[in-house]
Structure 1
Amino acid sequence: MVTEQEVDSIGQRLVDPLQPLQARFRALFTLRGLGGPSAIAWISRAFKDDSALLKHELAYCLGQMQDTRAIPVLVDVLRDTHQEPMVRHEAGEALGAIGNPEVLELLKQYSTDPVVEHVEIAVGLYN
């Protein structure tokens, strides 16, 4: 069993921009495997990072966790027009992966979005 202190240590590594990206990815994948509200909280903090690649993987991992507690974070990322299109796209994909019907209407709204990556989210819902 991992302690809360250990989760916090891993989370600190994830959000530390001075850490090599490889170490941050390992921290992300460890948090994904651990799951739970603390892991989701640490992953959500990292969406403030400058790396679009890291943020894309954050969203992907939250979707893989299939934990409905990640829905508010992913909805915020999807709606955040300051996030890169590929990050927002992956947040939408992750919402679909969680599979909660409460987000279906939100995802359908993106079928007419001017950003092609967002339209792809909605199209994926119907295929």
Structure 2
Amino acid sequence: MVTEQEVEAVGRTLVDPQQPLQARFRALFTLRGLGGPGAITWISQAFGDDSALLKHELAYCLGQMQDSRAIPVLLDVLRDTRQEPMVRHEAGEALGAIGNPEVLEVLKQYSTDPVIEVTNA
């Protein structure tokens, strides 16, 4: 069993822009594997980063975790037009991967988004 402090240490690496991207990706994949609310919280915090590639992978990993607790943050990312189109697209894909029917109407709504990358989610 992993302690909350260990999850926090990994999370701090993920959200630290001074860390090499490779270390941050390793932290992301570690959190994905650990799962749970603490991991989702740390992954969610990283959506403020400048790296579109990292944010794309954040959304992808939240979808892979198939945890409904990630739905609110993924909905926020999908709705945030300041996020890069590929990040918003991946948030939509992740919502579908979680498989919770409560997001179906939102996904239908975004199937007509003016940004073509988002509509293809």
Decide: shared fold, TM above 0.5. Answer: yes
How many Å apart are 1:73 and its aligned residue?
0.5
> What TM-score, normalized by structure 1, do the two folds share?
0.94
Say what the alpha-carbon RMSD is for the aligned residues.
Answer: 0.5
- CA distance, structure 2, for counterparts of residue 98 and residue 46 of structure 1: 20
Deviations 1:57-102 (A, max 9, x none): 0000000000000000000000001000000000000000000000
How many Å apart are 1:113 and its aligned residue?
1.2
Q: What is aligned with 1:94?
A: 94
Q: What is aligned with 1:78?
A: 78
1:49 and 2:39 matched:
no
> What TM-score, normalized by structure 2, do the two folds share?
0.99
Percent identical among aligned pairs is: 84
Structure 1 segments (4+ residues) deviating >4 Å: none
Q: Secondary structure at the match of 1:82?
A: coil
Q: What is aligned with 1:38?
A: 38
Mark the runs of 5 or more structure 1 residues left unpaired by the alignment.
122-127
Q: What is aligned with 1:9?
A: 9
The number of residues matched between the two structures is: 121
Deviations 1:14-43 (A, max 9, x none): 000000000000000000000000000000
